[in-house]
A and B are shown apart, each in its own frame.
Chain A
Amino acid sequence: MSSDDNPYDLLADEHGEDHRWAFGTGFTDPLAGVDTAVPAGVDAADLAAYCLMLGDDALIYSHRLQQWITLLPELEEETAVANIALDLLGQARLLLARAAAADPSLGADEDRLAFFRDEPQFRNVRLAERADADFAELVARLFVFATWRLALFERLRASADPVLAAIAGRGVSELAYHRDYAAQWVVRLGDGTDVSRDRMRQALAAVWPLVDELFTRHPVEQALGGVAADPAAVRAEADLVIDTVLSTAGLDRPSAPPLGRVSGQTGRDGMHTEDFGYVLAELQSVARAHPDATW
C-alpha cells in the first residue's frame, strides 16, 4: 500500500516534525478569518465582559469535568464526560477569542485570558467552579448547568453580535446533548435503588444553593440588550425542564436557600468560593511555570 492509500501515513509522513498531528501541538486563533468588528451601537468593553462571563463558565466547568477522566464508573461515561468537556472547551476558546477581539484594551489573546488572569478577574458563576463530591453531584451540576446554558444559547442565536450568534448557533446542538445526557442520569439515579435515589437527592441539595445566581441579571447583561441573553428571562423555561425531569425521577425540588453574595458580589463580579483557587491553580500551573513557552 502506498502512503497515498493510507491517510494515517499521509498525515504522519508529510508534515515534518513541526506539523505532526497530535492534540496540543498547536492552536491557531479559532476566529481566524471571522469578521470580529463590533456592531454599531454595541459597547465593546461590555461585549468583551459578557463574552468573558460565558467563556469563563465554559472554561472552568470544562476543567472540572476533565478532572473526572479515569475516575468515572463506566467507559461510556468516560467518553461522554470527555466529549462534553471538549465541547465546552471549544466554546470557551471561541468566547475568549471573541472577548479579546472585541476589546483590544484587554491586551490579551485567548491563552493569556485563560492562563494569566487571577481569581478576581474570572467572571464565571460559582456553580462552574464547584468540585463534585461524587458522580451524583456531577450529574446534578451538569443537568443544571446545561439546562441553563442551553436556554441562554437558544436566545443568543438571535444576538445582535453576529459572532456571538454564530457561537451560540453551534453551541445549542452540543448543549442539547449535554442536557439530555445529564437528565437521563437524574432519572436513572432518582428512579433507581434506595441508595441511588438518596445520593441523587443529596447531590441536588448540595448544588441547589448555587442555582439562583445563574438566573440573576448582571449589570453587563442589562446594558447589552439585544446582544446578551437575559438570564432572568429564561428561568421559567429552565424551571419547566427541571421540574419535568425531577418529577419523572420521583425527586422533589430542593428547598436549600441560595448562597449569598460576599460584599455584594458573586462569581460574575469576580468573587469566588474556596473551590475556585484549587481548580484555577491546576488549570494555570503549566502555563505559569513556562510563561514564554509557545505551542
Chain B
Amino acid sequence: MTLMSYRQALHDALRSEMLRDENVFLMGEEIGVFEGSYKITAGLLAEFGEKRVRDTPIAEEGFTGAAIGAAMLGLRPVVEIMTINFSLLALDQIVNHAAKIYGMFGGQATVPLVIRTPGGGGQQLGATHSQNIELYYAFVPGLKVVAPSTPADAKALLIAAIRDDDPVLFLENLALYNTKGEVPDHDTPAVIGKAAVTREGHHLTLIGYSRMAHVAKKVADQLADHDGLDIEVIDLRSLRPLDRETIVESVKKTHAAVVVEDDWLTYGIGAEIAATISDGAFDYLDAPVRRVAMAEVPMPYSKTLESAALPSENDVIQAIYQTLDAIGHRRTKTGPHD
C-alpha cells in the first residue's frame, strides 16, 4: 500500500496499463504537451510518445467518435474529456454510437473504450463548467458508468474500465483530485457494477457516489464520534450497472436511508435509489427516503451563492437528524450541528 492522491492513482493506472498493453493509448485536448488540464497525464507524452498520447483538436464529437472507431478495430483508447460539461458536444457519439454498436449489430463489434472526465462544482467555474450530468450516461443501456470516490478505487476501477470490452464512462471529480488515501501496489482491477459498504452501521443508510461518497463517509465518522450514531455508508462506485441489492440489503437492516448526490434533485440518481428502496425494502422503511442534492439552478459564480447551491456536510447531517427524529431515534448526546 502507498499513500497517494486520487490524481496520482489515476496517473499510475494509466501508465501501468499502457506498459501492459500496447493497444492502450490516450486521446484528448491538452493531454500531451500541456500534460492535461488537471495533470493526470503528466509525463506520459515524454514516456510513450505522440502515437500513444495524442493531443487532439478541440473537437469532442470528432475525437470521441474516432476513439470509438479505433476501439471497434481492437485498440483500447482512453479518451480524456476535459470536463463532463464538454461531453455534451460528443453526446451523439457516446449515446447513439458507443452505447449502441455492440447490440445494434448483433454482438459483432465491441467498443473497448474509456471516457475519463471530471464533474464537480465548488471551483467558482460558473454555470457551464460546474455540472454533474453523469445521469445522462447512467440512463443509457450499453454504457457502463463508474464513479470512484477514493484513490484506491480510482486506480482499481480505471484498470477494470480499460480491460473491459464495453464503453465505460469514468467519472472523476475536481474536488477529489488532491484527496489522499492508501492505494494497493498491485494492479488488480475492481469489479464494475458493485457498490461498497464503506462503513457499517445500523441506525441509517447513507448513500452517495464520487465526491458525495467521500462526504458521506466523513459525516458518518463525525456523527459516530460526536453523537454516538452508527450510520452505514454505501459508496455506489458504479452508476450503471447499479448495485441495487447492496442498497436494499442495507436498508433492510437500518430501516432508513438518506441519499446524497451532487447532481440536481428532480429525476436525479437519488430518485432512482429511492425508487429502488421503495421496490425492495418498502416494508422495512420507518421513514421516507430523504434526498440531499444540488439546488436546481444553473450554478452561480459568486462564492456565497455557489456554496449555498452545493450540498454541504451540514445539509447531510440535518437530513440524517430529521429522518432519525421522524422515526423516534434520539441522539445519545448533543451534536455540533443542531
The answer to whether A and B interact is no
Chain A residues close to B by CB (< 8 Å): none
